[in-house]
Amino acid sequence: MADPSTSPPLTRASVFEARELIKGLVHHTPTLTNATLDRLASTPALVTEGDGDAGRKPAKPRMRLYFKCENLQRVGAFKIRGAFHALERLKREPGWEEGGGRERGVVTHSSGNHAQALALAARTHGIPAHIVMPSISAAPKIAATKGYGAKVVFSGSTSVEREAVVEKVIEETGARLVPPYDHPDIVLGQGTLGLELLEDSHDIIAAATGAEPSHAKNHGARPAESSFRAPITTPKFPESKKANAGLDAILAPCGGGGMLSGVALACEGTGVRVFGCEPWFEGADDAKRGYEAGKRVEAVSTLTVADGLRTPLGKVPWGIIYERRLVAGFYSVSEDEIIAALKLIYERFKMVVEPSSAVPLAVALFNEDFRALVEREGGEDGWDIGIVISGGNVNLEALGKLFAPKEA
C-alpha cells in the first residue's frame, strides 16, 4: 500500500478527509438504541463472574447505549472503510499505476473481515487480490472472500505464520501489502465510523431534548439527512443533556487496534473518552496488559471465541492508543460473558452479529471496574455510551454450538 511517509497526519482532521475520500463507497451505517439493553446495563449485579469480582458489591451505574451497527456495513464489517481508504490512497501514489502496480495487485493476511473487505475493494478497482487466511478461518468468511474474486492462500493461525506466507506471496507476485490494521491509511479509514457515531448519537439526544442537531453545531458539517434511526423508545435524559447533547464515552473492541485507534482520533479534542474492550481468555487481552505495563505485547496465541480479536496490537495503533494517550483505558471480559452478551443481542436486539462485536456490550453489562467508573463519574445523570458493533459475519454451525446446552 502507499508508503506510510506519504500518509496524511494522524489527526481528527485527517479522519474527516478520509470520509470524503471513501464517500459513496461505504455505507453510513445506523446508530440504534435499545431500551431493554439500557435497563439491563443499569441493573446491578447482572453477572458477577468476572475476574476478581466474587463477593464485590455490585455497581449501580446508569447507562444509555448507542449501538453503531457496522454489522450492516458492506461485507458485514467496518473493515471495508480502511480497505477502500487504503486503495484510494495507493491509487494516488506517484508511479504506482505507471510502474505496473495495478497488474501486480495487493496482498494481505486476515481471519476474515479484512480479507473480504480488501477482496471487494480490489475487485471494485479492478486490482488482483491475494488473501492469506488461517486454515481455521470460518468457512463463510473464506467462501465470501473467494466470492469477491480474491485468490485465497492458507496459513497457520498466528500472526507470525500469516506474515511468513504473505512474504512468500510478495516474492512470487510483487503484490503490494495492505495490512489489516497497522498502517496510517487503515487507521484513518476505520476512524470514519467514529465520526458517524458521534454525530448520530448527538442527533438522537438532540431530538429528545430540544438541543441543536450536530450539523448545526458544526460537528463535522454533514448533510442534514442521515441513515441513522431515532430510538423507538426515547430514554429519559437529564436536563444537563440539553446543553451537552453527546456521548460521554465509546466502547470499542480491540484486536490489532486499527479501528480503536481510528475512533480515538475521531474523538480527539471532543471530551468523549474512548475505551478498548478485549477478551482475557488465553492472554487475548494483550492491549490491556501492554497498556498497563507501558510496553506493547508483540505476540498473542489465543483461541478466544471472539476470533476477530486474536491479533496483537499494531505499532501504529499503539502510538495513538498509548503514546498519545488517546484511549483512556482497557477492560476485558470472559468467554461466558461474551456469549451472554451475544445471546442478548440476538434475542433482545434481533440483530446478527459476530462474537467479537459482543465484547463492548459485555464490558458494559459485566465488567465491574467499568460499571463502577460510570457510577462514580456519571452519578444520577449517568453516561451516554457508544457501543461499536464491529461486524456480523458468523458461522451458523459454530454459533449453534456456542448456544447449545452444556453437558453435565
Cβ atoms 141, 398 nearer than 8 A? no
Secondary structure E strands in 208-364: 249-253, 273-279, 329-333
Domains of the chain: 6-77+184-403 (3.40.50.1100), 80-177 (3.40.50.1100)
Distances (CA, A) of 385 to 103, 249, 275, 310, 382: 45, 5, 10, 25, 10
Q: For CA atoms 142, 143, 148, 151, give the dihedral sign.
A: positive
Which grid coordinates belong to 157? Answer: 493461525
Backbone angles phi, psi at 169, to 5 degrees: -65, -40
pLDDT digits (tens, 9 = 90+) for 104-159: 999 998 878 899 999 999 999 999 999 999 898 878 889 999 999 999 999 997 77
Neighbours of 173 (CB within 10 A): 16
CA-CA distance, 47 to 43, in Å (whole number)? 10
Backbone angles phi, psi at 383, to 5 degrees: -125, 145
Percentage of residues in the chain with pLDDT exceeding 90?
71
Does the annotation mark 315 as catalytic?
A: no
273-279/329-333 β-pairing = parallel
Cβ atoms 11, 265 nearer than 8 A? yes
Task: Count CA within 13 A, CB hemisphere, residue 65.
Answer: 26
**Helix (H/G/I), strand (E/B), else coil: 15:** helix
210 Cβ neighbours under 8 A, 6+ residues apart: 242
Amino acid at position 192, single letter: T
Q: Pick the catalytic residue: 68, 79, 141, 241?
A: 79
Q: Pick the catalytic residue: 7, 14, 110, 111?
A: 111
pLDDT digits (tens, 9 = 90+) for 369-380: 999 999 999 999
Does the annotation mark 79 as catalytic?
A: yes
Amino acid at position 227, single letter: S
Secondary structure E strands in 91-190: 106-109, 129-134, 151-155, 176-177
pLDDT digits (tens, 9 = 90+) for 302-329: 989 998 898 899 999 999 999 999 999 9
- pTM assigned to the model: 0.90
pLDDT digits (tens, 9 = 90+) for 342-399: 999 999 999 999 999 999 999 999 999 999 999 999 999 999 999 999 999 887 888 8
Cβ atoms 74, 120 nearer than 8 A? yes
Give the angle subtended at the CA of 66 by the CAs of 304 and 75, to the nearest 5°. Answer: 55
CA-CA distance, 302 to 281, in Å (whole number)? 7
Confidence of residue 230 (pLDDT cuts 50, 70, 90): very low
